[in-house]
Amino acid sequence: MPESAAVGRPRRCDGRCWLFAAGIIALAVALPVLGLLAQAVQGSAGLWPHLLATVLPVALVDTIVLLCGVGLVTAVIGTGSAWLVTAYAFPGQRILEWALLLPLAVPSYIIAYAYLDILHPIGTFQGVVRWLLGYSSPREFRLPDVRSMTGCILLMGFVLYPYVYIPTRAMFLTQSANLIDAARLLGVSRRAVFWRVALPLARPAVAVGISLALMEALNDVGAVEFLGVRTLTVSIYTTWITRTDLPGASQIALSLLLIVVALVAMERWARRRQRYTADVQRSRSLQPRPVPFWTGSAMLLAGCLPVLFGFVAPAAYLAAEAWKRFRFAGLSPNFVHEAGTTILLATVATVLTILCGLVVAYTLRVRPNRVSAWSFRLATMGYAAPGTVIAIGVLIVLASVDRFIDRNAQDWFGVSTGLLFMGSGAALVYAYAVRFLAITAGGIDAGLSRIPPSLDHAARTLGQSQLGTFRQVLLPLSQPAIFAAGLLVFVDCVKELPATLLLRPLNVETFATHLYGEAARGTYEEASIAALAIVAIGVLPVVLLSRFQRLKL
């Protein structure tokens, strides 16, 4: 057989195998949504009118009000802080640039848990306020209850604003200083330059950041429940857990999924006419303008407020409570077991997600056609869906598979297999992979795009197959992107609460579910160590992101 034919045959086989594997992964991601649709259609005919009359009106109104409020708060804080550290030079500016990322380390349910205790009417903070104002009892004076829609909007805004800050600051940094200088020459003040030049150019980044923040707000179940806000996510959880009504939960989940689709469509519609013709590589970038000392001090104080409320205050509270709990009773005997369970589930899900992301991203590189493009899009759509929606879909699909296997095992062998997937944690790993595959696929695809295709061609010319080229050339060169994506997925798995609550096996606790249970019982101090551990783990991607931004600068 000629050597060229021997080399050519595995090339076609390799391409088809990669394409087939990517299609299987895309189908696995789409299955929960398909199962959700099937379960909702099979629900009781009289169930939907009941949901429309009782559950959905309140939940839908609360969800819309929460999204509008969180969107406004994150837009103001994220855009304002991004312009502050980009356009002005003041003492502490360099520190503030990365410190503004720290609230990313605190999940929204942890900040709600922390502030519920910090702002308690008989807590230390309100006690100091009453002492300063001359009051002696909570009956005489107390601050507004944080358990409200306003409190929920503000607390979630202080946690989620970095989603707007990161892309908006990147957009400000890449804007041409020539545009700013031209506006100043025409008599436009520095403040008006922001409103009339910088902000309109940065609107796509602001829209992307707000949409990401709103998706995170939709995904939350712990903070909104602790703070007394009944969103669609909370309604899904209570409908399934409290009422054991899977069709009803599926129908509410579909309503939530429609809101997510509307958010994505609105974000794309807001950017439909944005076009850029300036050559960023040749133009001068925006340079921060030095300001007087006292003005700079005021700017530093204003920039530190989001960091104080979004990270420093809750982290300090958790550290103090964890130390008191440790001194009083030592480390809980369940802590090591919960830590092991959390790390094990997150590690397995991270490895699985990286493998699937490698397959999907590499297929798009070696077979750039419509099939691979659609496989990539389907495989990465899970991140847009809230964890509760993914969990309900996974529950429907894997419960059906468990029943099918158990029924056939009893018919053929007379043995009951039980809940193979739902009872072993496999369902939870599957949900994590579906939810966070977009992170690894997108990160690895970005890493592979920086590798010249000529290296692939050279390896193939030397007789390497596509698998060999991937293993010996592309995989070593894309290790930084793989590591960064894997770290982000690992931390997100540790912090994920809605899917973990719905899919964890019986008598299995993670840090997130332990914290949720203690907060629901009001025993906040018992969960302080677990909450502090989640925050400590969440700092890792913040450090990575800050170092990446410094390298880019």
Looking at 103-112, 352-361, 475-484, 522-531, which range is the least confident one? 522-531
Confidence of residue 8 (pLDDT cuts 50, 70, 90): very low
Cβ(156)–Cβ(71) below 8 Å: no
- The whole-number pLDDT of residue 278 equals 46
Q: What is the pLDDT of residues 116-168, one digit of tens each?
A: 888 888 877 888 888 888 887 777 777 888 888 999 999 999 999 998 998 88
343 CB-near residues (< 8 Å, 6+ apart): 494
Structure confidence by residue, pLDDT tens digits, 495-535 = 888 888 888 888 888 888 888 888 777 776 777 888 888 88
φ/ψ (deg, to 5) at 485 = -65, -40
d(CA 284, CA 264): 33
Instruction: Read off the pLDDT of residues 423-459 as tens digits, 9 standing for 90 and up.
Output: 788 899 999 999 999 888 888 887 887 788 888 778 7
Per-residue pLDDT at 308: 93
Residue 48 CA, distance from chain mean position: 30
Residue in this structure with the two tokens 């050519």, named with its chain if needed: 8
Contact 246, 36 (CB under 8 A): no
* 108: Cα separation from own chain's centroid: 11
Q: Which residue has the tokens 């699909």?
A: 397
- pLDDT at position 124 is 78
pLDDT at 46 over 60: no
Distance between CA atoms of 185 and 226, rounded to whole angstroms? 53
Tell me the pLDDT band of 367, cut-offs 50, 70 and 90.
Answer: confident
207 pLDDT more than 80: yes
pLDDT digits (tens, 9 = 90+) for 464-492: 777 777 778 888 888 888 888 888 889 88
Share of the chain above pLDDT 70, in %: 87
Domain extents in the chain: 12-42+336-511, 43-272
More confident of the two residues 424 and 345: 345
- 348: which 2 tokens? 């397995």
Both tokens assigned to 170 = 């990147």
Report the mean per-residue pLDDT for the chain: 81
Same fold, 12-42+336-511 and 43-272: yes
Which of 134-148, 301-315, 358-372 is modeled with the greatest confidence?
301-315
Whether residue 274 is predicted with pLDDT greater than 80 in this model: the reply is: no
**Placement of tokens 């559950």 in the chain:** 55
- CA 212 – CA 495 distance, rounded (Å): 17
Tell me what pLDDT residue 306 has: 94
pTM: 0.83
In terms of C-beta density within 10 A (0-12 exposed, 13-18 middle, 19 or more buried), how is residue 95 classed? middle
pLDDT class of 1 with cuts at 50, 70, 90: very low
* Distance separating alpha carbons of residues 167 and 173, to the nearest angstrom: 10
Strands 289-290 and 88-89: what pairing? parallel
The pLDDT value recorded for residue 432 is: 93
Asked whether 531 and 515 are in contact (CB, 8 A), the reply is yes
Average pLDDT over every residue of 181-204: 71
Please, where are the H alpha helices in 367-474?
Answer: 370-379, 387-413, 426-449, 453-461, 466-469
Q: What confidence score (pLDDT) does residue 279 get?
A: 46
The reported pLDDT for the residue numbered 281 is 44
CATH class of 43-272: mainly alpha
Cα dist from 366 to 19, 372, 380, 445, 455, whole Å = 9, 9, 18, 12, 12
Q: Rounded to whole angstroms, what are the CA distances from 479 to 473, 474, 483, 544?
A: 11, 9, 6, 15
Q: What's the pLDDT score for residue 7?
A: 43
Most confident of 41-55, 375-389, 454-468: 375-389
**Cβ atoms 324, 118 nearer than 8 A:** no
Other C-beta atoms lying within 10 Å of the C-beta of residue 142:
16
| Nearest-angstrom CA–CA distance, 217 and 157 | 9
Secondary structure (3-state) at 5 = helix
Q: What per-residue confidence (pLDDT) applies to 352? A: 94
**12-42+336-511 CATH pick, 2.40.170.20, 1.10.3720.10, 3.20.20.80, 1.20.1600.10:** 1.10.3720.10
Q: What distance in Å separates the CA atoms of residue 250 and residue 47, rounded to the nearest whole number?
A: 11
Token digits of residue 163: 């989603």
Average pLDDT over residues 256-275: 70
pLDDT-based confidence at residue 4 (cuts at 50, 70, 90): very low
**pLDDT of 311:** 92
Q: What are phi and psi of 89, to 5 degrees?
A: -110, 120
In one letter, which amino acid is 277? T
* pLDDT attached to residue 375: 85
